[in-house]
Structure 1
Amino acid sequence: MTVKSDVLRHSDIAVIGMSCRLPGASGVEEFWDLLRSGRSAVDRQPDGSWRAVVEGKGESDAAFFGMTPRQAAAVDPQQRLMLELGWEALENARIRPTDLRGSDTGVFMGVTADDYATLLHRSGAAIGGYTTTGLNRSLMANRLSYLLGLRGPSFTVDSAQSSSLVAVHLACESLLRGESGVAVVGGVSLILAEESTAGMARMGALSPDGRCFTFDARANGYVRGEGGVALVLKPLTRAVEDGDRVHCVIRGGAVNNDGGGPSLTHPDREAQKALLRRAYERAGVAPEHVDYVELHGTGTKAGDPVEAAALGAVLGAARPSGNRLAVGSVKTNVGHLEGAAGITGLLKAVLCVREGVLPPSLNFRTPNPNIPLDELNLRVQTELQSWPARDADRPRLAGVSSFGMGGTNAHLVLEQAPVTVEEPVVGGGGGRVLSVVPVVVSGRSVGALRAQAGRVRELCGGLSGGGVGLVDVGWSLVSSRSVFEHRAVVFGAGVGEVVAGLDVVSSGGVDGVAGSGVVSG
């Protein structure tokens, strides 16, 4: 495929892989469906508190990652979740994780919570040989690097609530310096101990109503959420050369600190304005060309007015009067993921830019009286809206903000991926159509093989018919998925035959040759 050379800037970073585990969404497509439909995953919990939770957050296939049951019990579930999400994001990028061994791939993780350590210490569990490595946040990135044999930078970032967006910024810088060839970047936050919620409540940070009323007159704090996100990044020029699917482009960004203010945890307007100006200057993007900003947007009385004022001064003022900048916050859907909040907002913004759609920001009814939206030239995005590119030379542009309670601020600038043109096939005739398609599934155990077959069966069941879609699935499974010791191959001339074969595998009916079109070994 080819791309016009004038849209390839050496400072651009491509997002080529994505994975997530978020409230109400076990994957990226489910997350996008939640956003488009304007749903909230926040609910009252058995203890009476309001939270947006992830189901099965303590579960993991520890054996897949070479952990014994004893070792897995000592390892923070956040570490285990990021192993899964890092692996999934690489496969989503069509990179076989095991092929990266010895490469300069970097790993950058944002995390601030350590509830699991609180639980273990409270329980009086004996300190063992795995305790230190299992509970130490610094191992969050290192464990993935160790598992895959990666030689690039590997570290955990903790700048409070801005941790994961700062991690993305640092990953981009590493790629631009040539220090990393590929970067896996993520953020995770799991609520496991009531002490962490009690601490935030006593600070006055949490909403007694269990909602994030972002930019609304009812704003009275945020509601906690949990989960994790992982992205795979690569310099855009190399991504295009490698034929990668580019979901979005990171044009640039900036990080700074408030450096003062009324208190340690109170945001500073002038610092945020300086952050925005620096981010757009570094990205080479005129602020007036940005159509959407994914807010930090916690719905707090102190934070929202400061963020709105800074956006209005830098982006709103640059736009024609009446052409108001759209803003929204994913925290109204899945709560505030704290250390993972920035990358969750980034994932939403990447999907908006890629799909050309702006989903609604929830819980907005009456503007906060301390946020004069008309004067600031801002508007809260309250409806599902198409977002076409302005023209061929003006792609969709968005910003993403994340602020830590200690004053560390981050903002990234995103751009729609360049349009690629497939090279003509020599001799014509288009793509090749296979009469029979092989679909390979595998796992490190019989149970894992059956589970993989079930997941692929769901995917194939959603295809419209045979041909290109089915061939793509078969090709992806052999070209970008690791093949493990327990495996099966299903052959089919169409979707129906493949689905039937995968049903046999997922139900445990495979033993040598299980039936027509299915072989295992």
Structure 2
Amino acid sequence: MEPSANSADLSPTKRALLALQQLQAKLDALEAAQQEPIAIVGMGCRFPGNVENPADFWQLLQAQQDAITEVPNDRWDLSKYYHPDPNHPGTMHSRLGGFLPHLLEFDAAFFRIAPREAASLDPQQRLLLEVSWEAVEHAGLAADRLVGSNTGVFVGICSIDYWQRLLNRHPSEIDAYLTTGNTHSLAAGRISYVFGFTGPSLALDTACSSSLVAVHTACQSLRQRECDLALAGGVNRILEPASSINFAKARMMSISGRCRSFDAAADGFVRAEGAGIVVLKRWRDAVRDGDRVWAVILGSAVNHDGRAGGLTVPNGSAQQALLRQALQQSRIQPAQVSYIETHGTGTPLGDPIEMNAIGAVLTDSRPQPLYLGAVKTNIGHTEAAAGIAGLIKTVLALQAEAIPANLHFQTPNPQIPWAELPVQVPTQLVPWPQGTMPRVAGISAFGFSGTNAHIIVADRPPESSNSVSPDSSRQSAELANPPYLLTLSARTEPALQQLVERYRQHLQTHSSISLAGLCYTANQGRAQFNHRLAILADSLPDLQQKLAQIGTGSLPSGVFQGRVTQPVLSLTDDTAFPDLPSLAQHYVAGACINWTARGHTVVLPTYPFQRQHYGIEPT
């Protein structure tokens, strides 16, 4: 109720009523803000199985791929540290894990990091920089336009392997970059510094729930208006044998070398590396800005086990409370949840506790079975990155309208009362089609710190009538009629040539992509560097042919190339130059184009990092 112009003439009773109504309106607005959905507008990830991006990840999940391999030679000497007897001192009983390539390789020059500093930089910080850049590009955002923005960074991280490796050297070898290169606070702070973000920047360590707690914290920060955009996720790298020996002695690690979540043969988890970042924005802001929205976070919760059966023992009561709190915050009824991406470590103790908590909270009055999954059966336990792996998997499943299979599920764990629970653990890809109501899923992560996290996501907010999708979330008009202008740029000439090849290959496998959307995304949604190409194309086949010709070293008609040596004034595409060839020539000469045409964002190749070796080898 708006205040009346003559409210002073109202009686005391009516003035009091008016004040109460105004106060109630403010409280309602505050409550709505605290429960506003958060849009996931971009993602980046690296996981075992040569997963370099979300599309790779979905291919791995859809193909039911097991990404577990033997420990690589660049980690430790298996002949020295492996022994089949878990009780054997100084060794581990597993030869297996989930690992990523490029352990000590990094494009230091791209991120403006000196070689000496790069050598002392934790591979986890390196990986976070790369994946954060890729997530921003996946969101269709130009990183150079985010400098100075109120963007927050929230990172889950717990491994200290590289720090241990550096400290194992003689004190005379300690340099000026040891602490800044390995302190966890810098894992987030360095991202904010490199990108020029000014919002909150936090590193969180709650063990295996770290990355999901980071996403929860990012959502809270967005709702409280502490930031307007957020990067959230986690990372894990395994370099040294000490933690694996420790986990082996604690009987946490699988003897069989596989995560067998909810199976009778479950015997522990398999350690794995990984990294994932999601780009988050308040739902209303994403709609206003025309962002592509992959899914929405309806709500989340974090709690602690309290004084349970032991410091690292899961607490079923706490897990039940966590689920109820997340449902309440999301304003979702249990029966509306159709899928749970479980923590699912595949331990004889943890699996029944988690399943019983799910059964107590989510299985009453359920018209359809509740599907359960565990990405650890594919890629292993990525520890600090486990929650973000489960979140990205679930978002991809929502988009693909299918729930991936669980691997290694053959004989249901007899300690779980399956007959009493309307749940299913799929062993094949299960259709998950859109309907009149939002599809809702939950993701759990539990840390042996006792900190638990649960996030509830959906394909759209409950009040939204249409499902969001990467192809339809932007409703603005397409670009003008042909010809189209595609701009590409990189920091170095080899990187530019590799980017051209990536685009050529991408078009081979995405023949139905919108050329207008492709040009819009590349022009508007990428940072601009000094080595530049501008390509005029009438059609996709025309663009493919020109990309192929560029790859052979020739510049066909309609292709312009240049290297920027000095800044050029900003120009507007539709006012400064009425014809595209003129605009293309000025772009490669260094013009900063203020693109005015509107379009929809599509998924395109990300920047090709030019990695070199920086680091200290194991002793």
Q: TM-score, normalised by structure 1?
A: 0.92
Q: Counterpart of 2:55 in structure 1: which amino acid? A: E
Q: Which string of whole-angstrom CA distances, capped at 9 and with x for unpartnered residues, describes residues 100-142 of structure 1?
A: 1222110000011111112222244711111110011110110
User: What is the match of residue 518 of structure 1?
Assistant: 559
Backbone CA RMSD of aligned residues: 1.9
User: What is the match of residue 440 of structure 2?
Assistant: 397
Give the counterpart of 2:120 among 74, 78, 85: 74
Give the counterpart of 2:417 among 366, 372, 378: 372
Q: Mark the CA change 1:277 to 1:18 in structure 2 (over 3 Å): closer, same or farther.
A: same
CA distance in 1, matches of 2:403, 2:336: 16
Give the conservation status (yes or no) of the 8 Å contact 1:163–1:340: yes
Deviation at 1:304, TM superposition (A): 0.5
Which secondary structure state, in structure 1, belongs to the residue aligned with residue 409 of structure 2? coil
Q: Mark the CA change 1:422 to 1:109 in structure 2 (over 3 Å): closer, same or farther.
A: closer
CA distance in 2, matches of 1:39, 1:340: 19
Q: Mark the CA change 1:236 to 1:422 in structure 2 (over 3 Å): closer, same or farther.
A: closer
Q: Mark the CA change 1:65 to 1:220 in structure 2 (over 3 Å): closer, same or farther.
A: same
Q: Mark the CA change 1:501 to 1:171 in structure 2 (over 3 Å): closer, same or farther.
A: same
Correspondences of 1:95-174 after superposition (within 5 Å): 95-124=141-170, 126-174=173-221
Give the conservation status (yes or no) of the 8 Å contact 2:262–2:352: yes
Unpaired segments of 5 or more residues in structure 2? 1-31, 73-77, 83-94, 563-619
Correspondences of 1:253-292 after superposition (within 5 Å): 253-292=300-339
Q: Counterpart of 1:519 in structure 2: which amino acid? A: F
The reply to whether residue 52 of structure 1 matches residue 98 of structure 2 is yes
Deviation at 1:501, TM superposition (A): 2.9
CA distance in 2, matches of 1:432, 1:41: 41
CA distance in 1, matches of 2:341, 2:419: 19
CA distance in 2, matches of 1:422, 1:333: 31
User: What is the match of residue 410 of structure 1?
Assistant: 453
Q: Counterpart of 2:121 in structure 1: which amino acid? A: V
CA distance in 2, matches of 1:123, 1:332: 37
Q: Counterpart of 1:41 in structure 2: which amino acid? A: A
Give the counterpart of 1:39 among 60, 65, 68: 65
Q: Which string of whole-angstrom CA distances, capped at 9 and with x for unpartnered residues, describes residues 227-286 of structure 1?
A: 200100001011111111111010001100000112111001111111111110111000
CA distance in 2, matches of 1:141, 1:307: 31
User: What is the match of residue 309 of structure 1?
Assistant: 356
Deviation at 1:437, TM superposition (A): 2.5
Deviation at 1:432, TM superposition (A): 5.3
Report the more deviating stretch, 207-216 or 489-498.
Answer: 489-498
Deviation at 1:431, TM superposition (A): 4.4
The reply to whether residue 251 of structure 1 matches residue 298 of structure 2 is yes
Give the conservation status (yes or no) of the 8 Å contact 2:163–2:178: no
User: What is the match of residue 508 of structure 2?
Assistant: 461
Q: Counterpart of 1:490 in structure 2: which amino acid? A: I
Q: Which string of whole-angstrom CA distances, capped at 9 and with x for unpartnered residues, describes residues 45-98 of structure 1?
A: 353711111122332211010011111111111101111111111111111111
Q: Mark the CA change 1:423 to 1:276 in structure 2 (over 3 Å): closer, same or farther.
A: closer
Q: Counterpart of 2:518 in structure 1: which amino acid? A: V
Q: Counterpart of 2:175 in structure 1: which amino acid? A: G
Q: Which string of whole-angstrom CA distances, capped at 9 and with x for unpartnered residues, describes residues 388-437 of structure 1?
A: 23x42x21000000000021000011111242678998xxxx84563333
Q: Mark the CA change 1:423 to 1:140 in structure 2 (over 3 Å): closer, same or farther.
A: closer
CA distance in 2, matches of 1:51, 1:299: 14
User: What is the match of residue 386 of structure 2?
Assistant: 341
Unpaired segments of 5 or more residues in structure 1? 1-7
User: What is the match of residue 403 of structure 2?
Assistant: 358
The reply to whether residue 241 of structure 1 matches residue 292 of structure 2 is no
Give the conservation status (yes or no) of the 8 Å contact 2:550–2:556: no
CA distance in 2, matches of 1:22, 1:58: 16
Deviation at 1:183, TM superposition (A): 0.5
User: What is the match of residue 588 of structure 2?
Assistant: none
Give the conservation status (yes or no) of the 8 Å contact 2:341–2:374: yes
Give the counterpart of 1:221 among 268, 283, 290: 268
Report the more deviating stretch, 350-359 or 475-484.
Answer: 350-359
Give the conservation status (yes or no) of the 8 Å contact 1:491–1:501: no
Q: Counterpart of 2:448 in structure 1: which amino acid? A: M
Which secondary structure state, in structure 2, belongs to the residue aligned with residue 291 of structure 1? strand
CA distance in 2, matches of 1:376, 1:422: 37
Give the conservation status (yes or no) of the 8 Å contact 1:225–1:334: yes
Deviation at 1:459, TM superposition (A): 1.5
Q: Mark the CA change 1:370 to 1:130 in structure 2 (over 3 Å): closer, same or farther.
A: same
Give the conservation status (yes or no) of the 8 Å contact 2:261–2:377: yes
Deviation at 1:446, TM superposition (A): 1.4
User: What is the match of residue 440 of structure 1?
Assistant: 487
Give the counterpart of 1:202 among 249, 255, 270: 249
CA distance in 1, matches of 2:382, 2:185: 19
Q: Which string of whole-angstrom CA distances, capped at 9 and with x for unpartnered residues, describes residues 186-206 of structure 1?
A: 210011112222221111111
Q: Which string of whole-angstrom CA distances, capped at 9 and with x for unpartnered residues, describes residues 206-242 of structure 1?
A: 1011100100000000111112001000010111111
Give the conservation status (yes or no) of the 8 Å contact 1:57–1:77: yes
Q: Mark the CA change 1:33 to 1:424 in structure 2 (over 3 Å): closer, same or farther.
A: closer
Q: Mark the CA change 1:463 to 1:272 in structure 2 (over 3 Å): closer, same or farther.
A: closer
Report the more deviating stretch, 308-317 or 191-200.
Answer: 191-200
Deviation at 1:299, TM superposition (A): 0.1
Give the counterpart of 1:493 among 529, 538, 541: 538
Which secondary structure state, in structure 2, belongs to the residue aligned with residue 256 of structure 1? strand
Give the counterpart of 2:39 among 14, 18, 22: 14
